Amino acid sequence: MGLLDITDLTVEFPTRRRLFVAVDGVSLDVQPGEIHGLVGESGAGKSTVGAAVMGLLDPPGRIASGNITFKNQQVSGLDDEAMRALRGRKISMIFQDPLTSLNPLLTIREQLTETIRVNLDVSAEDADKRARDLLDRVGIPDPDTRLDQYPHQFSGGMRQRVVIALALCSEPDVIIADEPTTALDVAIQAQILDLIRDLVDERRVGVILITHDMGVIADTTDRVTVMYRGKVVETGPTAKILSTPEHAYTQSLIAAVPRPHKKVHRFPRINYGGDDPDFAIEDLSRNWPQYDNVSGDPLLQVRDLTKRFVEKRSILPWGRRYFTAVDQVSFDIMPGEVLGLVGESGSGKSTVARMIAGLYKVDGGTVEFDGDLVSDLSNREVQRAYRQEIQMIFQDPFSSLNPRMRVDQIVAEPIRHHRLLPTVDIPVRVAELLDQVGLGAEARQKYPHEFSGGQRQRIAIARALATQPRFLICDEPTSALDVSIQAQILNILKDLQEHLGLTILFISHALPVVRQMCDRVAVMQRGKIVELEDSETLFTSPSHDYTKELLSLTPRTENMYERPGSEPK
Amino acid sequence: MSVFHRFWDSDFAWDFRHSPVAVVSFLVALLLVLSALFAPLIATINPFEPGNLNLMNGFTAPGTQNAFTGESFILGTDDQGRDVYSTILYGMRISLFVGFAAVALGMLIGVTLGLVAGYFGGWTDAIIMRIADVQLTFPSILVAMLIFGVAKGFTPVEYRDQLAIWVLILSIGLSDWVQFARVVRGATLVEKQKEYVQAARLIGRGAMPILVRHILPNVLSPVLVIATISLALAIIAEATLSFLGVGAPSTQPSLGTLIRIGQNYLFSGEWWILFFPSATLLALALSVNLLGDWLRDALNPKLK
């Protein structure tokens, strides 16, 4: 008997058309002082398990069968009153987004002491003292001052520490952490995970850690349960599951995690459950214009690129304050090369990309493409030609496709705009493109919401290829996608680079991915490039401290399962 | 599957079928609109052809026989002997026409200015939205009366009655663009941050195609909701203006004009001349408004 036992839990959502079973016969338990990881891709039902335990299922969701017991006491089926006594008091929850889990109108002191006094029978002074101790314990420096600040005065990582302190207020026995570090940078993620680990060891609480990230599982958990489409496919001690997974799904999930330590030709594909359509690179390359990628001149030259954003507005020029997001960044990209741009959020990497793409005006410096000055947006001739030569693939395929346009209209738009083909030939070309990225003919008549994340990213790629560009900017193209789809999309990008000779600027915060994708890598910190090196050199012998720090934070994958023969050719 | 089947099967249509309020108010509104449209076919007479009238028929109570002519009228007659049932049908035509046209005008102005303000920002945005703010500080009926008065001053006396309807449309339309502009501006600010707009800019599309082809279709659902609710308000605004005597002339009376005429007889016992036009106005405004309320909930996924 564990601290929290979930036996044969089934959660269903009756909808108009059918009964959707989100969680199907899931059993798991947590012991005191243990972190139990719950891992799966989006839609696997892992968050629903957490919500069911907390009694927070959104209607019309309901627990259809199964049992949840806490210290041998029945939890499932309790009425609201009894649930409130348990929820928050004995079982706490940490959510993904620290910004929305704190009340922006109350100081940290008010939020903490209120929670403490509601849950524990202590005096106002005691509650105050506890609040201070808690902040100190979760590693917030200078707790006396910080207590009287508001949530917006904390950075993302600090805020998540406050959320953890809030979850600890009632001295719970079980904490359910739902993607607690997904919204955070790698460095802060590592700190938060360490903190959770320490608290578990110290207070003997049991934690269910819900995540999609195998790296988090590897670094933090004692046991792991893998979910796929609402069902548990495998469960056991973390080390054993990671090194010798038995179920085919777990194997492909682990094999798909990008490795920072050695370069592979292509990512192992996850071929469990179907959906990995072919990408017809040979078809594409047959009609692709051939460019000379061997001559010595760089395709793109960036010199002293600078961008300032207004921080404080004022009519008077001397009253304005600026924040320098990008500070004198210079680099070259050779034809046919993949250049990686790495950094934490706020380091200015996306701003660089948007300036190169001409979406932002530059505040200083120049961008030259193939000898033309393209950072001057007023030169219409040059801009028009440039627009055909570059394309961009965005991070979020749910936002990068217009929800009110049909897929064929989306893909045809660049062709129509540049008048590349006579109107009658456009449907044929669109059909070809969609076919080449692995979407069938019936995809043309549909709207974006009818597709999954990976399919949408393929549509975005089809649109990007429509003008036959030479240069592609990929801004975090896979960070909104599941690991399995990440592998598909990255393989497509590699194909594009190798077979079509595309030059790519690849932006990411994930070092292992960059290692696999890029020839050279630029590391950005606070608007500046701190290191620009050959990818091999950078990963084996980094010279800048910041690069070393970033590298030390990548998840340990040495002992992870690798699929035999995952190295084609 | 045919287009109709697809629509019938959609969540939107399903939602509609399962909301009694929506179905009833839709049927009431549809009945009223259709009867206004086919007024010449279903009205007993055209009450605004002087030749059709018999003054002897004046003040006949509903359902009773006239003492002089022996004729009876289902909803009675007014002072001139006009059949109230027919005047309502014809009055509703004017009311609905003014309502639809005024909302269309307000929507056209509001959506355009809202898109421009939201997309371009800066000075354009500041000027447009300050004008909107100033206009909002006056009750819209006052604004409408002001525009009505000014426009009337410019129209030659002999055309005044003919142009009154158009002036009415202009004044109500101009008084009600602000809420369209505000909502569209807000929605545009959200949409223009999305990556599909950046993707379109990246292709090289200019501001106009982006606004019309990309942003406009994505901000239309709140506009639809406001348009429906505005329709009810515009019909009421028109009735108010006509009631005050500054709207539709008595040669082309709207429901508001009928109410104004009717209220003179309320205290002398001829209640039906006031009551039936008022009840029709209430039914029309209420059904359209309830429909708008339902539409707002149905198009907002957060409320589900």
Instruction: Indicate the pLDDT class of residue B282, thresholds 50, 70 and 90.
Output: very high
Q: Is A285 in the B-facing interface, judged by CB distances under 8 Å?
A: no
Q: What is the pLDDT of residue B210?
A: 94
Q: Are A514 and A505 in contact (CB under 8 A)?
A: no
Query: Which residues of A136-272 form beta strands (DSSP E)?
Result: 174-178, 206-211, 223-228, 231-237
C-beta atoms of B203 and A383 within 8 A: no
CA-based nearest distance B123→chain A, Å = 12
Q: Is position B66 within any domain?
A: no
For A365, the token pair is 């410096």
User: Which of these ranges, B59-63, B131-135, B136-140, B193-197, has the smallest mean pLDDT?
Assistant: B59-63
CA distances from B153 to B148, B150, B249, B257 (A): 9, 5, 16, 21
Q: Are A192 and A160 in contact (CB under 8 A)?
A: yes
Strand partners, A312: A321
CA-based nearest distance A399→chain B, Å = 5
Distance between the two ends of chain B, CA-based, in angstroms? 27
Cα-only R_g, chain A: 26
* Consecutive H or E run containing A192: helix A186-203
Using an 8 Å CB-CB cutoff, list chain A residues near B14. 16
Encode pLDDT of B34-65 as tens digits: 999 998 888 777 777 777 777 777 777 777 77
**Tens-binned pLDDT, residue by residue, of chain A (569 aa):** 678 999 999 999 887 778 888 899 999 999 999 999 999 888 788 889 988 888 888 878 888 888 888 888 887 777 777 777 777 778 888 887 777 788 889 999 999 998 888 888 888 889 999 899 888 888 888 888 888 988 888 887 888 888 888 888 888 899 999 988 877 777 778 888 888 898 899 889 999 999 988 888 888 899 999 998 889 999 999 989 988 888 888 888 888 787 777 677 777 766 666 556 677 777 777 778 877 677 778 899 999 999 988 877 777 777 788 888 899 999 999 998 999 999 887 788 889 999 999 888 899 899 999 888 888 888 888 888 899 999 999 988 888 999 889 999 999 999 999 988 898 999 999 998 888 888 877 888 888 888 888 889 999 999 999 989 999 999 988 887 887 788 888 888 888 888 888 999 999 888 888 888 899 999 999 889 999 989 888 888 888 998 888 888 777 676 777 766 544 43
Encode pLDDT of A230-277 as tens digits: 899 999 999 899 888 888 888 888 887 877 776 777 777 666 665 566
Pairing outcome for strands A206-211 and A35-39: parallel
Q: Are A182 and A98 in contact (CB under 8 A)?
A: no
Q: Which domain holds residue B29?
A: 3-48+76-303
Q: Select the residue of B202, B213, B214 nearest A359 (Cβ to Cβ).
A: B202
Q: What is the pLDDT of residue B301?
A: 55
Q: Is A399 in the B-facing interface, judged by CB distances under 8 Å?
A: yes
CA-based nearest distance B203→chain A, Å = 6
The torsion angles phi and psi of A117, rounded to 5 degrees, stand at: -70, -30
Can you give the CATH number for the domain in which B205 is found?
1.10.3720.10
Number of domains in chain B: 1
Instruction: Indicate the pLDDT class of residue B304, thresholds 50, 70 and 90.
Output: very low
The torsion angles phi and psi of A391, rounded to 5 degrees, stand at: -145, 165
Q: Is A467 in the B-facing interface, judged by CB distances under 8 Å?
A: yes
CA-based nearest distance B14→chain A, Å = 9
Q: Which residue from A minimizes the CA distance to B122?
A: A313
C-beta atoms of B202 and A417 within 8 A: no
Which conformational region is residue B223 in: left (phi greater than 0), alpha (psi within -120 to 50 degrees), or beta? alpha
d(CA A435, CA A445): 14
Neighbours of A501 (CB within 10 A): 18
Using an 8 Å CB-CB cutoff, list chain B residues near A383. 204
For A339, the 3-state DSSP assignment is strand
Q: What is the pLDDT of residue B184?
A: 95
Q: What is the dihedral of CA B187, B190, B191, B197, to 10 degrees?
A: 150
Query: Residue B68 above 60 pLDDT?
Result: yes
Q: Select the residue of A388, A399, A417 nearest B195 (Cβ to Cβ).
A: A399
Q: Which domains does chain A have, with CATH numbers?
A: 97-169 (no CATH), 281-552 (3.40.50.300)
Q: Is A445 in the B-facing interface, judged by CB distances under 8 Å?
A: no
d(CA B15, CA B8): 10
d(CA A549, CA A187): 8
d(CA B201, CA A382): 15
Q: Is position B10 within any domain?
A: yes
CA-based nearest distance A309→chain B, Å = 15
Using an 8 Å CB-CB cutoff, list chain A residues near B200. 402, 413
C-beta atoms of A413 and B201 within 8 A: no
Residue-level length of chain B: 304
C-beta atoms of A413 and B203 within 8 A: yes
Higher model confidence: residue B303 or residue B54? B54
Q: Is position B255 within any domain?
A: yes
Strand partners, A331: A302
Q: Is position B59 within any domain?
A: no
Query: Residue B78 above 90 pLDDT?
Result: no
Q: Is position B61 within any domain?
A: no
C-beta atoms of B204 and A396 within 8 A: no
Using an 8 Å CB-CB cutoff, list chain A residues near B209. 417
Q: Which of residues 222-251 of A touch B (CB under 8 A)?
A: none
Using an 8 Å CB-CB cutoff, list chain B residues near A404. 217-218
Q: Give the list of residues 6+ apart from residue A561 with CB closer than 8 angstroms, or none.
A: A242, A243, A244, A245, A251, A254, A255
C-beta atoms of A403 and B201 within 8 A: no
Instruction: Indicate the pLDDT class of residue B188, thresholds 50, 70 and 90.
Output: very high
Q: What is the pLDDT of residue A269?
A: 67
Q: What is the pLDDT of residue B153?
A: 81
Q: Is position B63 within any domain?
A: no
Residue-level length of chain A: 569
Q: Is position B64 within any domain?
A: no
Q: Is position B56 within any domain?
A: no
Q: What is the pLDDT of residue A568?
A: 40
CB-based burial of residue B217 (10 Å sphere; 0-12 exposed, 13-18 middle, 19+ buried)? middle
Q: How many CB pairs under 8 A join A and B?
A: 60
Instruction: Indicate the pLDDT class of residue B221, thresholds 50, 70 and 90.
Output: confident
Q: Is A350 in the B-facing interface, judged by CB distances under 8 Å?
A: no
Q: What is the pLDDT of residue A270?
A: 62
C-beta atoms of A392 and B198 within 8 A: yes
For B108, the 3-state DSSP assignment is helix
Give which of B190, B195, B214, B302 to mutate to test A binding, by max A Cβ within 10 Å: B195
Average pLDDT, chain B: 86
Q: Select the residue of B14, B195, B209 nearest A394 (Cβ to Cβ).
A: B195
Q: What is the pLDDT of residue A569?
A: 34
Of B248, B252, B255, nearest in space to B283 by CA: B255
Q: Does the interface ipTM go beyond 0.95?
A: no
C-beta atoms of B203 and A387 within 8 A: yes
C-beta atoms of A417 and B218 within 8 A: no
C-beta atoms of B203 and A467 within 8 A: yes
Using an 8 Å CB-CB cutoff, list chain A residues near B213. 405
Instruction: Tell me the percentage of chain B whose pLDDT exceeds 70.
Output: 98
Query: Residue B214 above 90 pLDDT?
Result: yes
Encode pLDDT of B142-160 as tens digits: 888 888 888 878 878 777 7
- The structure's pTM equals 0.82
Q: What is the DSSP string of A504-559?
A: EEEEES-HHHHHHH-SEEEEEETTEEEEEEEHHHHHHS--SHHHHHHHHTSPP-TT
Give which of A402, A472, A475 to mutate to test B binding, by max B Cβ within 10 Å: A402
